[in-house]
Amino acid sequence: MSETFRGSFTQQEPIPEAGIDAALAVLRHGRLHRYNTVAGEVAETALLEEEFAAHVGAKYCLALASGGAAMACALRALQVKPGEPVLSNAFTLAPVPGAIASIGARPVFVEVTEDLTIDLAHLEAQAKASGARVLLLSHMRGHVCDMEALMALADRLGLRVVEDCAHTMGAKWKGVPSGRHGAIGCYSTQTYKHMNSGEGGLLVTDDAELAARAVLLSGSYMLYARHRAAPPPEVFERLKLEVPNVSSRMDNLRAAILRPQIALLDDRRARWRRLYQGMERGLAGAPGLKLIERPQHEDYVGSSFQFLLPGWEAARVAAFVAGAAARGVELKWFGAAEPQGFTSRYAHWQYAAPEPLPQSDRVLAGLIDMRLPLTFTPEDVAQIARIIADEVRAAAEARDLAPVAAPAAD
């Protein structure tokens, strides 16, 4: 009899007790707004910024309402103008091009490799063809490219790099924390990320002017002196009358929930890695399935798992995904013709008028994605791997397949 997985792919761990206690304290005093403090009090949000900056080794940090808000704030701080081209990965999620479009700029997509990282050769071609001066680099699903090579190319091309680290909080490349290579690093604290406040975002930088612009943009109401992980007042004095207020602040309740989670990031990375490596072992050698090789210099956070079904036609992939779902395994397919839930790809974002990218189309046509919440056990992972291997085999051998619309090119 076929086994079925009974667990949840969306159930997160509970908030740490210290975070619950801190949140209750905020609720009891009622001062949720970050600038609503009493004499001698430091806001939870200001403390979160100071502590997260120290954790990643950044001079400045700003807490925001979401990861998308952090990216949009970063682009505004870099003074990206309406209509200006901004480079980004073709393999990413909707909030990344959404952040570009939200300020009236134009996303220019770059091919993805079979390692699920940005194609540096195509990046150079797109940068030269578009004249872009900013790259919003998405470390999509936690896959970090060769950051030394990317930054060398960016320096040569005159590109400012904003790192989208929604999937790499706690990850490193050659010991350097994700988000610390480019001009600005942006993080998400949405429920399915590595620290959980429901929604939320963080922005880090070592550039005093960029930090001051970001604080003013977030809606500081000239109360920037209450920030601890921020530049000195004289930097703000030069900018305060020219930078608009685009309110996107984090509140003290979410900051209180997040602060105790910073100390848990290293342990969470290690636990996610054990689950990820268990999935690798369980799927190693499965016929028709290709695993993603991780570079030795990448200290990754394996909070999700991806594999490829290279050369599979759409109907066969759809049959595999449906077969796994019937046995309790929730998979996302980046080759589907229509966006579904959290899963969409560059060809679906018609507001960006994307040009066809043949290499990305080929990779994404067989790309399968799966969450690995920390509520999973090693036994859960082993069972899920067995089910996936069974369903891959069944779909590969199937003769009668229901027709499925092929992914549209644009």
**Length of the chain as a residue count:** 410
Contacts of 14 (CB under 8 A, 6+ apart): none
* Backbone φ/ψ region at 285: left (φ over 0), alpha (ψ -120 to 50), beta: left
DSSP state of 340: B
Structural domains of the chain, ranges and CATH numbers in brackets: 17-262 (3.40.640.10), 265-397 (3.90.1150.10)
Name the β-bridge partners of 60: 205
pTM assigned to the model:
0.95
Q: Are 211 and 243 in contact (CB under 8 A)?
A: no
Q: Are 276 and 171 in contact (CB under 8 A)?
A: no
Rounded to whole angstroms, the Cα distance separating 237 from 240 reads 6
Q: What is the pLDDT along the chain (410 residues), one digit of tens a residue?
A: 589 999 999 999 999 999 999 999 999 999 999 999 999 999 999 999 999 999 999 999 999 999 999 999 999 999 999 999 999 999 999 999 999 999 999 999 999 999 999 999 999 999 999 999 999 999 999 999 999 999 999 999 999 999 999 999 999 999 999 999 999 999 999 999 999 999 999 999 999 999 999 999 999 999 999 999 999 999 999 999 999 999 999 999 999 999 999 999 999 999 999 999 999 999 999 999 999 999 999 999 999 999 999 999 999 999 999 999 999 999 999 999 888 888 899 999 999 999 999 999 999 999 999 999 999 999 999 999 999 999 999 999 988 777 665 444 43
Structure tokens at 126: 């797109």
Nearest Cα residue to 32 out of 79, 65, 6? 65
- E-strand stretches of 317-363: 332-333
Strands 134-138 and 160-164: parallel
Q: Are 332 and 318 in contact (CB under 8 A)?
A: no
- E-strand stretches of 126-182: 134-138, 160-164, 172-173, 176-177
- Collapsing DSSP to helix, strand or coil, 205 comes out as strand
